[in-house]
Structure 1
């Protein structure tokens, strides 16, 4: 999915949901509101010319393990299925149960015919407000094979909002990228608020053999997209598409302008 033969760079909008069933802050009616918002956001992304979306849980309190509540999985599956029916087969759809519920996300993607999932930690460990996040690539890839989800692409975050790689070191980021691909990733995700460092990380990863696909996990907007996306293959876009109101509704006019800038690179 992330290796485009024509060099097309992908714009993937984040569809942020209300708290899901099976989480502490869920309220009756939130699931219906999530479906309504997800469909409106998807329509806005399609209208603006985006390539896909990532349906992402925003439950505010998260498990630190790979497992999660059954009702939560059922809820996001219901939302994702409605998005798939609306969008059709050519619009790319991802699913992510935060923070690192990879096997449940793979299950939803497989059942709902989604295209990819985003993984906070496919290897190593990282800290979070909800405890230490520990990767379990053996479990993840065994389950992926068990349910026949090899066609579901996996983005491995290796330095960004959720996975903290420490002070930047070229050799370390290259090792993380190569190791992520070895344990089953189809693309790696990076993000730094420092634009120069952000681009350097992408270039360092791109210097490795195999042309590893690189996804920017945030940080792009109308002002900087042409600079930040010079070397990367895809961008996950949240606040920019929401008019800088993180978690709000996606604006199709902003999407259209962003995609136009991205296509001009």
Structure 2
């Protein structure tokens, strides 16, 4: 039994994404609706995913475009407040990510008592928001110093390009052996984009027995393949209204997706 199975109590858990609308201080923030509107949307989407049968949820500041490698104190405060309130209705494991600030993710994860944090942990990448240089030594020491008990799901691909020409297999191995990741997580080029099968297979070779998580691009049409390739799935875009990352969760889509996913999962060896 791997870490994901222990945490979620099922084989190959499926985690639904709760994407926050733009938070205070970000360019697209709706000052008229304020935090109340964001809270209402957060609770609505959280409850929709739980009702659909997702095995867990993960919160993210997806609406805060363009993303920052060093988010403001307002972002940390807002996310902590939102997650603290939303977790009252969550009766299963939950986690979070912060685009694109690993230190903030670990800080919030400790404050809200998350079960996992998804973040860049090791190696160096470049993306639309600039360099991603997470510094695993610093991050794991921060986690230890504040007694963070959550698991770390380390991003090793997605929305960025790794520098130095290092193979994905070796990046995965480094995240586990050097970065002390509890699992490795892959993503496509953008939110909702499918991950190449070759990337998932390479990550498997380098993950040193740790779980490999499919982090984007899972749909009702490719769920069987993704359940076969990954040990767990984090997804959100394909169960949104019109399949749009920045729209609300579509209850019908979410329910249909999980009905098919659970049926397929039961047939897996």
Tell me which interval the TM-score lies in, with the shorter structure as reference length. Answer: 0.7 to 0.9
Which residue is 1:260 aligned to? 259
Distance 1:259 1:222 in 2: 8
Which residue is 2:40 aligned to? 36
Which residue is 1:60 aligned to? 65
Which residue is 2:172 aligned to? 177
User: Post-superposition shift, 1:76?
Assistant: 0.5
* Closer, same or farther: CA 47–13 of 1 in aligned 2, 3 Å: same
| Contact persistence 1:155–1:188 (CA under 8 A) | yes
Distance 2:4 2:237 in 1: 25
1:15 aligns with 2:18: yes
| Contact persistence 2:4–2:232 (CA under 8 A) | no
Which residue is 2:52 aligned to? 48
Which residue is 2:196 aligned to? 198
Distance 1:105 1:204 in 2: 27
Distance 1:159 1:153 in 2: 18
User: Post-superposition shift, 1:2?
Assistant: 4.4
User: Post-superposition shift, 1:210?
Assistant: 4.1
Which residue is 1:136 aligned to? 135
The alignment's TM-score, normalised by the length of structure 2, stands at 0.85
Residues 59-208 of structure 1 mapped to structure 2, 5 A cutoff: 59-64=64-69, 67-88=70-91, 91-99=92-100, 101-119=101-119, 121-149=120-148, 151-160=149-158, 162-165=159-162, 172-182=167-177, 183-192=179-188, 198-208=196-206
Distance 2:217 2:96 in 1: 20
Deviation readout 1:56-95 (Å, 9 max, x if unpaired): 102112223xx3211111101011011111113xx12111
Distance 2:163 2:260 in 1: 32
| Contact persistence 2:172–2:207 (CA under 8 A) | no
Q: Going by fraction, where is helix more abundant, 1 or 2?
A: 2
User: Post-superposition shift, 1:164?
Assistant: 2.1
**Structure 2 unmatched ranges of 5 or more:** none
User: Post-superposition shift, 1:7?
Assistant: 6.0
Deviation readout 1:122-150 (Å, 9 max, x if unpaired): 1122122222221211211111001101x
The alignment's TM-score, normalised by the length of structure 1, stands at 0.86
3-state SS, counterpart of residue 189 of structure 1: strand
3-state SS, counterpart of residue 132 of structure 1: strand
3-state SS, counterpart of residue 240 of structure 1: helix
**Structure 1 unmatched ranges of 5 or more:** none
Aligned residues: 254
